[in-house]
Amino acid sequence: MTFTVDLTRRDFSGPLRPACTFTPERLSWTAFGGCDRAVLHALGASDDLLTLTALLRCPVMVRDLTAAPVWWGFVEKIEVQLDQVMVTVTMERLFNRVSVRYSHLSPDNRLAEETITPPADNLQSQAEYGVKETTISLDGIDDDRALSLRDTFLSQHAFPLSELSQAPDPQPPHARLFCSGWFNTLSWRTYDFPDGFYANYGPGPGVFAFGNASASNLIAQAFHVSSDGLLQYAYFRLRKVGDPTRNLVARLYANASSSPGTLLASSQPVPGGSLPPQSYAWFRFAFSTPYPLTAGSTYWIALSPSGLDPAHFFQVKVDENCNFNQDGRSAKFWNGAAWSFLPSITAPDTRPQLFFRVVCTSDTAAQLLSMSTAGGQFLNRITAPAAGRQTSPFRFSGRTCLEEALALLRLGTSNDRLLLATVTPDRDLHFFEQPDPAQADIYLDRHSHFYNNQGINLLSYHPPVGHFARLSAINTISLPWDRHRLPACFIAGAEYLPASDQIIIHAF
* In contact, 244 and 310? CB cutoff 8 Å: no
pLDDT above 60 for 380: yes
CA 459 → CA 32, 285, 449, distances in Å?
A: 21, 54, 9
Note whether residue 258 is domain-resident: yes
Same domain, 211 and 337: yes
Lowest-confidence region among 39-53, 223-237, 484-498: 484-498
Lowest-confidence region among 108-112, 129-133, 405-409, 412-416: 108-112
Band of residue 108 on the pLDDT scale cut at 50, 70, 90: low
Same domain, 71 and 209: no
Residues of the domain holding 102:
97-155
> pTM of the full predicted structure?
0.86
What pLDDT is stored for residue 106 in this prediction? 62
What percentage of the chain exceeds 90 in pLDDT?
70
Band of residue 486 on the pLDDT scale cut at 50, 70, 90: low
Which of 372, 399, 433 finishes a domain? 433
Note whether residue 220 is domain-resident: yes
Note whether residue 193 is domain-resident: no
What pLDDT is stored for residue 42 in this prediction? 97
Q: Give the residue with greater pLDDT, 111 vs 487.
A: 487
What pLDDT is stored for residue 109 in this prediction? 56
Same domain, 349 and 276: yes
Same domain, 367 and 389: yes
What percentage of the chain exceeds 70 in pLDDT?
95
Same domain, 147 and 75: no
pLDDT above 70 for 280: yes
Same domain, 276 and 327: yes
Handedness of CA 156, 157, 162, 167 (dihedral sign): positive
Band of residue 107 on the pLDDT scale cut at 50, 70, 90: low
What pLDDT is stored for residue 476 in this prediction? 46
Which of 147, 180, 213 finishes a domain? 180
Band of residue 440 on the pLDDT scale cut at 50, 70, 90: confident
Band of residue 475 on the pLDDT scale cut at 50, 70, 90: very low
pLDDT above 90 for 152: yes
Note whether residue 197 is domain-resident: no
Which of 297, 332, 354 finishes a domain? 354
Note whether residue 451 is domain-resident: yes
What is d(CA 138, CA 453) in angstroms, rounded to the nearest whole number? 57
Same domain, 475 and 409: no
Note whether residue 270 is domain-resident: yes
With 0-12 / 13-18 / 19 or more C-beta atoms within 10 angstroms meaning exposed / middle / buried, residue 349 is exposed
Band of residue 185 on the pLDDT scale cut at 50, 70, 90: very high
Q: For position 316, which CATH number holds? A: 2.60.120
Average pLDDT, the chain: 91
CA 306 → CA 66, 271, 300, 500, distances in Å?
A: 74, 10, 19, 74
Same domain, 217 and 332: yes
Lowest-confidence region among 104-113, 332-341, 388-397, 487-496: 104-113
**Residues contacting residue 5 through CB under 8 Å, at least 6 positions apart:** 22, 24, 40, 60, 61, 62, 63
Q: Give the residue with greater pLDDT, 388 vs 106.
A: 388
Dump pLDDT digits (tens) for 232-267: 999 999 999 999 989 999 999 999 999 999 999 999
Band of residue 477 on the pLDDT scale cut at 50, 70, 90: very low
What pLDDT is stored for residue 472 in this prediction? 74
What pLDDT is stored for residue 325 in this prediction? 82
pLDDT above 90 for 124: yes
Same domain, 319 and 273: yes
Note whether residue 196 is domain-resident: no
Note whether residue 187 is domain-resident: no
Question: Within 10 Å of residue 184's Cβ, how many Cβ atoms?
Answer: 20
Q: Give the residue with greater pLDDT, 222 vs 336.
A: 222
Same domain, 331 and 464: no
The radius of gyration of the chain's CA atoms, rounded to the nearest angstrom, is 30
Same domain, 345 and 395: no
Lowest-confidence region among 17-21, 30-34, 102-106, 461-465: 102-106
What is d(CA 52, CA 63) in angstroms, rounded to the nearest whole number? 20
Same domain, 175 and 209: no
| Tally of domains within the chain | 5
